[in-house]
Structures are given as structure tokens and as C-alpha cells.
Structure 1
């Protein structure tokens, strides 16, 4: 028998021992009472809880325990039957002896116990001898599982320089074995790697700091932790995990300059805001603990400034004021780098800052001239004469060479005509009289140029104010239309007047109004000064008559308060008009307008009616003329074509007219209503007389011309302009001789008479004056 069987037997004997003692006592009592009355004894199972070890590997069934009925005589008359969890598959029973066996390997972690039921019957009667009863087979644990860290690996962060004993993190391992039986699940923790900086509590798994650590030296640690069962005894199982511990930064380091002295240069021509150089202090901390500010200290800190680049943590030195090599060549300023955030614990060691010295040298350059002022303001009275002094500008060469300066005025030609500057001393004078009312201010730009180096030029603005002189008399601001009703009462206000002055009064304008002393209308109107730069025109009598006088003229004297005072006389025209009983202004003005034209209301209506009739008549004439234009020349254009007959042979003078039908030149008479047209007979006769001076008098041709003239004057369908139609023929005995082609060699000039029949000298002059076929005479 192996050790497990002996262990099981001992445990079974321990459980059955009380029962055996009870049976022994019962037998003793029976022996002590041999003659007692027989009693029925209740039969019962002789058994208790069973145990079986897990993970038993055997090819044969392993003994678990035995069920025993007290009625069993070991004669095989009883039969034991097993039912419940695993009956038949995991557990079997000997039906004759009641011995229970396990035929499979058990795992307590999968199923810690099994519940079964047992009964015993009589083999012959098949009746139960004992009541069916339930019992448990418990699987006993053995140490077959190692501890495991289910949440590993772990990571934790703690501030650097934390004191000893500071808790970092707690780790927990689990063991699948039974914690209630033996030491299989009792764990102990230990550190395999991470000492001497960390330690662990053996029972709780809490990791603590064993010594202070500096992030700047090392910012991450890897700790290997072990958990071992069986309370750390030999033969137990163990499991490990890793813990990554990061150190967070605290501000425990001061900024530190790598150099104690920094050397820089700046040109005296550098502009304000120019970058001169950069400095940088180092801080071993990171993040906001390394953030710092740079400041300048000392009396010369107003010339320079330093700004901090928050991304690079650099200090940028810039120029705050212009420097002058001739005034100061070197600067020495002290700078500090100071942390933004500090830890009170480390402030005991002193402020978290560092100091360095910046030495700046000024470089000399050729600078342009410098004016004594940034801008100049000058004054001159507008009454000043040409050549009057306005002011002077002054500039100097800031360099040691001290070059001579030349001045000039730039910009518009207009300003150059008004002002002039002395090129040597900068004196400005006027060259043309100034008028404040035209321009009260003049802005000019003056340049200063070095004679040694003309490229060095500076500019300055000069503002010249023209001071006012009382040279303009006051006047009315507008033209006043004043009306007075015939039924006006004495003292009635008919108009309020005011005045303006182009001059600029320092104390404000004040005007005085009055009538001219020798005014002829003083008996009709008065002027009342309101003492507020206005005056009222009042009537001085009751009633006015248009029949006597249509208008009055009031000369008003206006005096200003200038020095010396100026005055002007302005005449007001007061028209008399007819008004209604309420003296309505509108009707008054309308009546004044009519009477000023010399018309009554009836006459005005008649004039308007005549104008309307004339307009209607003109409109009708325009419509009629438009219709006539549309019906002009209804015939085709071919019917108006002028026929030209040419002969190439030598003609016989007047005899050739027999072959030409002059009636073809006549227009067909149209019987229409005769309308008067402009008579141009006088002009035609004048031209006709001129033609008679160069040719013979032909009665037949003269009659033809007059006839055509009468037709033209009486034809209403003719175009809206007068035309001159010329007709000519070569008369008998023409002084010009023949114009045929046979005699063309005698002509020096080749004239073109495409629109004329062969004609003589009688009408050549007339044709040349008015064209070949027609001429405008309007």
C-alpha cells in the first residue's frame, strides 16, 4: 500500500472511532443485562464523508472508502447500489462489499467535491434493507498550480527625489490551489531585480522606495517581482512579473549659463527692434520646470531689451533705442535666467536663477544728417510780402567727419513756387503772397544732404501755418428774396438776415447790421440788429401800394469785429405783392412774380392759352410733314433717271436740236393743291443774268427755264429743299465752236461733262457753279 492509502485509512479510522466506541458500550450494556427484555435496534449505515486526492495517475482503480450496513452478515445477500455525480463513470462500487473506487484522475480546481447517493437491497426480495442516503466525496487539494500575476506587467510613476518608504504600487498574484487547505495558496513576495532602490512587502505586495532617486541621473527603472507559494518553502511553485517605474520631473535644478561673458556687436545704423544676438541657459529639468525668463539689469538696460523664445528657451537681445558710435562705443549689461516655477522645498537652497554679463560693441557707420527736430512748425501772416522770413531748419552730420549740409525743398512744384530755402543755412522764405482763405496750412518736405557723401540724405516735414489777417469784409451768405404785402403793418418782421466772413476770427465773429445813412428808403423799412450775428428787416409804415412802387432797395451796412474792422454794403430788394387777408407767403410770392412781369391774372391766362394753341399747331404740322415724306417719289427710281443723248459726229449747231426732244427733260405735271413755298426767283434770275453775259439771248430757252421754275415753285410734292435743274444746248453760231471729238485735240484740259448735253459757253459757268444736275439753295 502506498502512502496515500495509509493516509486515507487513518482518516477513516478517525471518523469511525466514535461509532466503534458506541457499539462497544452497547454490547457491554447487553452483557450487563442478560435477562432484559429484547428491544428492536434501528439499523444504520456505517460510513461517513470520503476524501480523494486530486491528480492521482493510476492504471487501476484507487480505493476511496467502503459503505457498510450493520445488517450485512457478509453472506453476499445484500447488494450495494451507487448513484449521483460521476457514479459509474468516475466512481464505481463493489456491490457485494460496498467498496468505492475512483477510476479517473480528478482536478480539484475543476470540481472540488461530488455528491452521491447509496442504497442497499436484499438480493432475493429486491427490497431495500436501508433507506437511500446521500454522502459527499471531497477532492483534496495538492500544490499543482503556480502563482500568477493576472494584471502584469505593471507600470507606475513617482516624482523624483521622493523620500524612502514612499509607496509606489501594489501588485497581486493569484494561486488556483485551495487556500483553505495546507499552504499551497499561501504566497510570499520578493524582489529579484530593483534593489537597492525598491523593496516589497512580502505578504501585501506593496513596492516602496528604498532610497532617493534623481531623474536627471536615471529616469526609468525595471523591477522584477516574484510570488512563491508554500510560504516560500522548498518545493513550492513561483511566478514573476515586471514593474516599470518612471520618475517624474520636479524643479530641482537651477538654470545655468555655459558662458559667464557673451560678446555681441551692433551697428549704429541698426533700427529699433533689430536682433543683436542670442544667449541660452541650460536647465536639466524638463517641461515647465525648465521654462525660464531672461531679464536685463543695470543702468543701460533701457538701450537694450531681451525677450524669451518659449520654444527654444533662448534669450534674444534686441535694440530698444538707437545707439550712437560717437556718443558711446561699448555697453556692458547683466542678464539673469530665472525659472518660472519653483519648488518651495528646494528654494531653501537659494533662488533658481543664474547670471551672466553681455558686452556689446557699437560699430561706426556713415550716417545721414540728423535734424534738430523730428518736425518743424512755423507761422507767417498772410499779408507778408515776398521774401519774408518763415523759419529755419537745422541738421548736422552725426559722424566725426562733420560734413557740410545742403538743404532743399522736395515734392510739388506748386510748393516750390510759394517757398524757397537757403541751401546753406536752411532759412525758409516765401516767394509768393499767401492767402489763408485758399490754404491755411502748407506741408513741405526739406531734405538735408551731406556734401561729402550725397547718398546720405535725410528728410523732415515742415508745417507752415498761414495766420489770418482781416482782409475780407462780411457779406450775405445767400441771395435774399424779400416780399412785403400791401396790407403789411408797421413794425412787421419781413426777413431775418445774417452774414459770413471768410476770415478766421480767434475770438469768434461778431457782425453789426445797420442801414446806410443816406438810404432813401429809411422811411419805409428799418434794420434791427439782434446782437447774435443776425438782424431783422421790419416795416416802418402801414401799407404799401404796387401801383406806386413795385420794389424797394435797402442798402445794409455790415461791420465785423476784426482788427482793423472791415465793412461792406449789401443791397436787399423788397418786392411788394398782393396778399390774402392772412398774408400768406406763397400767394405773396406768386403775385409779386406776376406783377414783376407787368401782367394781370387774366392776361397771363390768355398768354398761356395762346402758347398751348401754337404748340398743338406745330405738332400737327410735324405729323403732316412726316406723312408726306413717307409718300415722296412713289414711282420707281428708274423713272427719274436722267437720259443723256450723245452724238459722235460733227453737229450742225442749232440745227442739231431737231434730233433732241427737250420735252423729255420736263417732269409730268401733277395737279395738286398749290401751297406757298419760298420764292427763289430772284436768285435764279441773278444766275440767269450772269449766263446772259457770256452767250446770246435765246427767247426759246428763256421761256423754257421760266416754265420749269414756275412748276418747281408750285409743286407741293417736291423734296423739302429747293433744287436747281440745269438744261443747256448749243445754240446757233456758238462762239465756243464745236465740242465734238474731232476737235478735241485743240483742248488743253480734258473736262468731264457726264451729266450735261453738249453745251455752249452760255451755260457752262452756271453748270460749274451748281453741279451737273442739281444744287441745294436753302
Structure 2
């Protein structure tokens, strides 16, 4: 035997043939139903007598038994139905499969029912029904409401004639219809808005409640609805009917200004929204409205304003402190023109602190004026408002200072002159004068010059002064004369007091001093002399120790270049500069007393080999003694007081 269900491996075969008796036996249970069973099994049987064969076909038809429950090919079916669907409208048709033989009794005859139906909460009625023969699910009431329930899940049961069952799930999505009118989330929007916000800024976000999802929102400010309606617009946003509410942004169409009296009163107008686009304004049932009340908040956005911001004055320099110059008045446009203003002077514009301003804006002279220091002042007066941060405005006061003859003349040049001694009677100097006052007002030249009557007698005996009124282009100069030759060895310099006056009325007079230095001539011989130098050494530092110049007695003091110096007897460790006479000592010179001898020659006087002696006392210091010493600071110059005879 061979055919369906016969395999080489006998243990897998469904049929077996008794070769002697020719009977076919069933070895294993047979299944007629799909997907793995067969309704008919075909076998081919061969009979043989050893020489000849005969063949026959055997067909085994299986009789169905109800052993398969119906099932739904798709366990879950999803469909969508509009929320405005009427009662009895088709939702979806389901179909179950049963692999039993549909011709065998009612084994594969399937009927449908709803096991878990959705129920309307208000009426308790079933929402869906199903045709038991066709599996067509329809609505059992009118109408669905997506805003209440967005999705239903029902269970469908398929039952065959033998009572076997299969279940499937149907998910019904409720499609949205724009059947809910919008509404603003507030009946009125009360806003405080800073005046500095520009038309680009959002003043408020107006949110809308509308549970529909198929919306097309449009916003507007209702024309003529209230004060200032034309100054605002609403730009629409979006929303999904869920957590994110639809919205419209309220913006200004022009700049807001608290200082504008109309703006300061505030604004009140209506806004509207429709969920049906621009055409929705024709459908009142889909239009909602709300009031907007908007109050401007003043900000410090305006500088104070001066009624007059420039003033020009001319004052004499002797104007007394306490003099009122002018008053600057400023107002602050903020706070409805009631903002506070205080005044101050910019410090950089009044470095001398000569001007002051009070709380009313009055500017005063508070310090002495001086034309010679500053002939003009540009004073900046600030008006500062009381905002945070404050804003300022600037007014400018220009003060021109006129001259008063308050400065006496002074020596312009020369103030010092040098005259060689022994020069006889001669002009020592022609003295030019200056005066810081305004010469255009007669407060300067022509100047007069004379020897001060209070001059010391030796000065009056030495000098005389004449006035050259044509000198210095007519300004007048003083001519100082030496009555005779001067002697440096008697006086190295002399102070000549000059009485000078300007041309003002009354004229200002003062005493100016001309210093006359007497230049030295080598007109005195030198004589032998000695000096002692004491050197204290704390710690050798490797550099020669200066001991000063080899000393000879000589009234002349400008003749060092005509002298030469030589050793009379030389000592090691000491060094002499032959041209200057400077003497130095080696830093490692031991303690002791050293006697040094020199010869000095002066070619101008024809003198040679004048003896000069220098005694050097070298003493090493103990560092401990220095630690206990008291330091003294010596002045760089020593002043000698000379009392003139007869003073």
C-alpha cells in the first residue's frame, strides 16, 4: 500500500495493510479539518501472486465531528465611527472562521453575539448591537459623544452549532465632529501691562476651552466694543482639546505710553473666538467672547525735561559767594508729570567746587572765582528723577569771568643774573615784567620799576635802578646797574628788591627780587693747609673709599681746573687724582692713623709746590656697636646764617 499517510518509517504512518488478508487498518487518529487535517485520504493497494499484479485505489472519506471552535482571524479589530452617526448605522462587520465541515449538520454554522457591550451611562441602554447571522455591528442609539467617551471596547462571541465559542475584541474610535462651541477660560481678563512693552511683546495669552479636536480657531478684537479696541489685536494659537488649551496672543498694534492721558485711563474691550475659522463669525453658536480690562503701569522711561536747558552769564571775578546766578526748572513726565526731581552739579564740570545748586534748581556762587585760573566755566546741572534706576537730564550754565585788577606784576625775566667780579660799573640786567590780569582792561602795562626804598644799605650802595618806559615794546623795563665792581670773596650773591607797579587804577604794587650771582675770578693766591678725615669701616665692600679733595687755603672757589696735585710722599692703599685732587682709599686699609703729604700748583697764579697735608684716621666698627647705635639723618644741604653788620 502507498499514498496519503503512508511513510517509510512505519511508526509515522496513519495506515497499515495486512498483506495476507488484504485488510487496511488505522494506526493513528485521523483529522479532517484544516489546517493540518484531510477530508479524504487516497491509498493505492497492489495485490501480487508472485508473477502478476493488480492495483486498486482506496479513498477514505472522514466524517466530521464538531471538534473545532470558531475563531476570529484578527483578535482585535479597530474601527472609527463619527460621533454624529445615527442609530442603526453600521460600525463594522466581523467574521469568524470554523474549520468543521459546513455540510455536516450545523457543526460550522456560526452565530454572533456581544458578550461585553458598552452601556450608555445616562439611560443604561446598550450602545451597540450585532446581527447574529451576519456579524454586522451597528449603533443601538443616537448619538455617540466623543467629548464624553473617545473610545469603546466591546467583546464579540462567535458560537457554532455544537456550542463551541470563540471571542474577539472590537475597538471603536469615536471620530470628532465640531459640535462643541468654544469658550474662553475666563469671563474677563484683567491685565496690568508695563508701558515699555512694544508691539512685538505678548501682553496676555487668552486661553480657550473646546473639547473638539476638529477645530479651526480664529480670534479678533470686537470692533467698537470699548475704549482703545483699535489699538490691539489677537493672534491665534493652537490646541488639541486636551491638556494644551488653544490660545490667542494679545498684542498692541502701536506703542503704549503712560504719559498719554488717554492711555493712562486704561483700556476695556471685547475679544471673540470661533472654532470654525473666519467663516465662523457668521455662526453665533460657535462664537465666544470675553472682556479685556488693561491698565498701564508707569515705568521710568522718560528723562526729566528742563524748561530752559542753557544759560549764559558774565561775572566779575570778585563776585562774592552766595550770589544767585540762575534757576533751572525741570519736570518729570513720568507718574503723570508728578515725578520728583532733584538737582546736582556734575563734579567734573566744577572741579574747583565754585558753584552749587539747591532743591529748586537755583544755581549759586559758593566759592571764590579767579579769572587767572579759569576765565570761563561750563557748569553741567543734572536733573535726576526718583525712578529706579534714576534718569537724568542736563542743563548747561556758561559763566564768563571778567577781570579785576587783583594781581601785582612779577619778574618775567630774568629773575637771576650772573656778573663776573671786578667788572666795574655796568648794567647788570634789563628786567621785563609780567601780569596775569587782563591787559585789555588796563590791568597790566605800562609797568614802572624802581629800587625798593627798604632795600638794605649795602644793596643800595651797590646797585641803582632806572626805568626805561620804552623798553619791551613800550611795556616798560627796569634797568639794574652795578655802581662799581663786585667782589665774590666779599659776597657770592646779592638780592636786589625791586618795587614794581602796573597801570591799573588804583595800581597794584609789590616787591620782586632779582638775584645777582657774582662769578669768581682766580684773583687770590693759595696758602698751605691741612685737614683730617675720619673713616669708620663696618664691613669691607670691595670699592675704594672716597676721602674728599686735597685741601689748600684759597679764597677763590672756581679755580679747581687750574690746579694740579702730586704726592709729596706716597703711601700704599691711597690714590690721588692729579687733575681734581680727589683722594680715595683702598677698602681693606687696616685701622690706624695715616699722614699724607701733597704738593699743589696753580698755573694761573704762577704758584708751585704749595704743601697740603691730609690726616686719615681709620677705625673698624664692631657690628654689635652698630646694632645699639641711634641713627641720625643729615640734611643734604647745610644752611649758614649770616648776620649782616648793623642788622
TM, length-normalised to structure 2: 0.45
Query: Which has the bigger relative contact order, CA under 8 A and spacing at least 6?
Result: 2
**Which structure features the higher share of strand residues?**
2
TM, length-normalised to structure 1: 0.38
**Which structure features the higher share of helix residues?**
1
